[in-house]
Amino acid sequence: MNESSSPEIMKENAAETAAAETAMPGADEQKPPEPAWKKTLKFVLRFGVSAGILTYLICTRDIKWQDFKLVKPWCIVVAFFAVYTQLSLTAVRWFTLLRAAGVNCSFREAFSLQMQGMFFSQFLPGGSVGGDVVKAGILATRTPPGGKFNVVFSIFVDRLCGLGALLVALLGTCLVCRDTIAQFPDGQRHGLMVMCAVCGALLCVVVFVFFSDLLYKVKFFKFFLDIADRITKDTFKRAAEAVALYRRCWKLLLGWIAATTLVFFPVLSLPVWVMANGFEGAPHRDFLPCLMISNVSQTIAAIPGSFGGTGTRDIACAEMMTAMGFTDTESGVIPILVTMVTLLVALSCSVFFIFDRGKRAPKV
């Protein structure tokens, strides 16, 4: 994977990208702020979803405060550093994608913005998307006119790489653990099979997105896309051009998807595995089933509706654990502790927002 050559590849098409940005009226204009009542309503609804699910999880499994003491303290420490490591690796991935887009942003700034995005993704009503919006907004304000689209689209491509890797990881672990899944109760087994089918379809969509610009070469599709562009002020055309530019760096993209699948998500699953094996009186748990539990819960957490997946991630993790024979106490305590560690990491990331002075603006 030759990352150093990626910026040069993208800069060959800089004039084309700049022209596309100029052609689109208001490309770098800011949208009017969302009304306060809408933000408040979203906050209340998402908070209600997360709080309601967690309350249901605690009540149905009769979790008590002393149950949390059954997990050895060192497991919490390992879980914290595992989440932080995965987040740091994600910052490296986004940094290389920024460089591939020709955005002259330092790693220090990209790392800081990634951490800030983590903080806002957990504590803003918009969830993970809210964190991306804040991250893009901060960097866009430091970017000269004409380069903001590349900044925003790098976040979109970063998300596509992460989503594609998550879908591959989920399908792969489910395939490897098929014998374990065969022993699930009918409800969980059928639900997981449906989920795998949907994820397989989504994976096809992700692959298709990276080739979406080719539709403009087919007259039938170009006719409808031209209509859509007239309505959306060339949004589809500009996105297709950006996709074509990134596809020139296909080795970089495939490399990061592979790294995310084989490294990022296994690291992110360590909190579940470590706590499952650090639970007092619990038998030894193999890593692969815990990896599958983590992948399933992370996939469910990607569905909008809660604060950064809090609640939805917990109930998915708990149901998978129950299907694998974990006790009610284990399947209730471990997901909640993992969420608490994730929130603690996100809270620590607020330091990057507090001390981010934003003196230097990247140049495209």
Looking at residue 104, its pLDDT comes to 79
Using an 8 Å Cβ cutoff, are 165 and 93 in contact?
Answer: no
273: in domain? yes
Domain limits for position 312? 41-354
183: in domain? yes
323: in domain? yes
Please report, as a single letter, which amino acid is at residue 348.
S
Mean pLDDT of 277-302: 93
Crossing angle of helices 148-176 and 250-259, rounded to 10°: 50
Please report, as a single letter, which amino acid is at residue 47.
F
254: in domain? yes
Decide if pLDDT at 27 tops 50: no
Higher pLDDT, 165 or 43: 165
Distance CA 315, CA 52 (A): 11
Looking at residue 125, its pLDDT comes to 55
Mean pLDDT of 54-58: 90
Looking at residue 270, its pLDDT comes to 96
195: in domain? yes
* Percent above pLDDT 70 for the chain: 83
Number of domains in the chain: 1
Question: Lowest mean pLDDT: which of 17-26, 63-72, 268-277?
Answer: 17-26
Confidence of residue 358 (pLDDT cuts 50, 70, 90): low
Look at the block and give the residue holding tokens 């692959």. Answer: 207
299: in domain? yes
* Helices assigned H by DSSP within the chain: 6-11, 14-23, 36-60, 73-100, 107-123, 127-141, 148-176, 178-182, 186-209, 219-232, 235-247, 250-259, 265-268, 270-277, 287-301, 312-323, 328-348, 350-354
At 225-261, the pLDDT tens digits run 888 888 887 777 877 777 787 888 889 999 999 999 9
Mean pLDDT of 112-127: 79
Give me the chain's average pLDDT, please.
82
25: in domain? no
7: in domain? no
